[in-house]
A = this chain, B = another copy of it.
């Protein structure tokens, strides 16, 4: 993870890069087979320009992968999963991840898109969540019948459901998140 050893990356470039990455997530989360031209258009950028930032399709995917991993790591850290009661921490995590938006869909929907080795490595976020659940088991505040791995899957799938619910059933995002939290809280209760 050694980044920019001396790559200040002029503000303009950084902005363009962001626009492309965001457009990539937005477009690919809906059509994983979308053409690069579509992504470029969605980013409001010429196909040539995109090619300058990400020479091949694989490079774009790598870029998105790293970006998502960073965002997930940042969200995890922000939620302080090791502090306070387990259930409260779990809800904080849920809220933090919800902010990933379309990244959620991409993460869950198209895991096979990410061929990067970095993707499937057990990351710090994973570990934090699993430990969190074990803490809940010890506290007696999380149903011991639900394995940590299963709780993890439930968390992500509920996030997915909530995001889609907001997107398709045009429920305000805030309400969708509230439903998600309420459902999660009850689901993990002993």
Binding site for B on A (CB under 8 A): 30-33, 109, 112, 143, 145-147, 149-150, 153-154, 156-158, 160-162, 164-165, 169, 179, 182-184, 186-187, 189
Contact = CB atoms under 8 A, between A and B. Distances in A.
Contact of A112 (B30, B145, B182, B187): B30
A161 B183 CA distance: 15
Contacts of A184: 187
B183 A154 contact: yes
A154 to B, nearest CB: 6
Nearest to A155: B161
Given A33-B32, A186-B186, A186-B189, A153 B164 contact: yes
A72 to B, nearest CB: 18
B169 A161 contact: no
Contact of A187 (B30, B145, B160, B186): B186
A161 B153 contact: yes
B112 A31 contact: yes
Contacts of A109: 109
Nearest to A157: B161
Contacts of A157: 157-158, 160-161
B145 A182 contact: yes
Nearest to A151: B183
8 contacts: A30-B112, A147-B179, A150-B179, A153-B162, A153-B165, A154-B183, A157-B161, A183-B187
Nearest to A145: B182
Contact of A179 (B146, B164, B169, B179): B146
Nearest to A31: B112
A130 B160 CA distance: 20
B165 A161 contact: no
A183 B146 contact: yes
Given A145-B182, A150-B179, A160-B160, 5 more contacts: A32-B33, A143-B186, A154-B158, A154-B183, A157-B160
